[in-house]
Amino acid sequence: MTPFTEEATSKVVDTPSGQVHYHEYGEGRPVVFLHGSGPGATGWSNFSANMKALGSQFRCLAVDMPGWGRSAAVTPAERCHHRTAVEFLDALQIESAAFIGNSMGGATCLKVAATAPERVTHIVTMGAGAGGSKLFGPADGPTEGLKVLQQAYRDPSPESMRALVDVMTYDPAFASDALAEERSRNAKSVPHHLENFITGIGKDRPHRATDAELASISVPALIIHGRDDRVVHFENGLKLCTLIPDSRLLLLNRCGHWAQLEHAEEFNRSVAGFLAA
């Protein structure tokens, strides 16, 4: 098996959406991991620990989506992550895969399952949003966590990233200075990613699955949400579980936006069992 290091698992592949960088580890049925939208987010930063744990059972593929990490820079108008996800499978000659996504990555998983169901075996989302009216959270505009995220795009300093990792997590032990500094370095390494994201703030997101599309999803779905998520309120998880026919909801107390980090052992155990069923 490939040594488990950031560089040893690093690969690139060309797609119609541009060059896509990803990390590959493990053998078995393919599982695609899709990161969230925060500045400095990458497949490795979001999922390295989960890949290490699950790589003994699955072929883990953690992708930097276009506009993030080492993948191609794209404008908001050019960005279409669910299309890129299918192109990524095509490029690797993978007929179908399980998809795991955090936040924005979760939204992409849902859209792929709705629009290309033949390419998806299972979906797992963590902190994913659902469109439409909500009972809780702000009536209009971004949540507390999204405001911090947007500010970190405008000022990707370690101090801004410290505020970001703090609002993303429930337990301060997971909001380390080292993580904040890593995210700051990642974000500053490709200024075009920052600039392109900022130009898209406040604009429509046409690539999120509609309620009708969510209701059409036929593959098994595991919806994971933190009870204390300050970025995407847990009522989004309730709505997803209501709309998606073959779904189940794992709601975790003392958990923020990064369930895969804060509750890694339970996350890995639950995902492994779900994908094996």
* Residue 18 confidence (pLDDT): 96
Give the separation between CA 167 and CA 257, rounded to whole angstroms. 8
CATH of residue 264's domain is 3.40.50.1820
* CA distance linking residue 207 with residue 113, whole number of Å: 13
Q: Which of 63, 65, 41 has the alpha carbon at shortest distance from 156?
A: 41
pLDDT for the residue numbered 204 = 67
- Quote the pTM value: 0.96
Residue 99 inside a domain? The answer is: yes
Query: Does residue 157 lie within any of the structural domains?
Result: yes
Tens digit of each residue's pLDDT (9 = 90 or more) over 49-61: 999 999 999 999 9
Q: Flag whether 1 is in a domain.
A: no
**Whole-angstrom distance, CA of residue 139 vs CA of residue 215:** 24
pLDDT class for 2, splitting at 50, 70, 90? confident
Q: Which residues are catalytic?
A: 257
| Domains of the chain: total | 1
State the pLDDT confidence band at 162, using cuts at 50, 70 and 90: very high
Domain presence at residue 35: yes
Instruction: Let me know: does 196 contact 76? Beta carbons within 8 Å.
Output: yes
Side-chain-side CA neighbours of 34 within 13 Å: the count stands at: 32
Containing domain of residue 136, as a range? 10-276
Work out the mean pLDDT of the chain and round it to a whole number. 95
Is 5 within the bounds of a domain?
no
Residue 88 tokens, joined: 């990524």
Q: What is the pLDDT of residues 119-140, one digit of tens each?
A: 999 999 999 999 887 788 777 7
Residue 4 lies in a domain: no
Cα–Cα dist 121/136, whole Å: 32
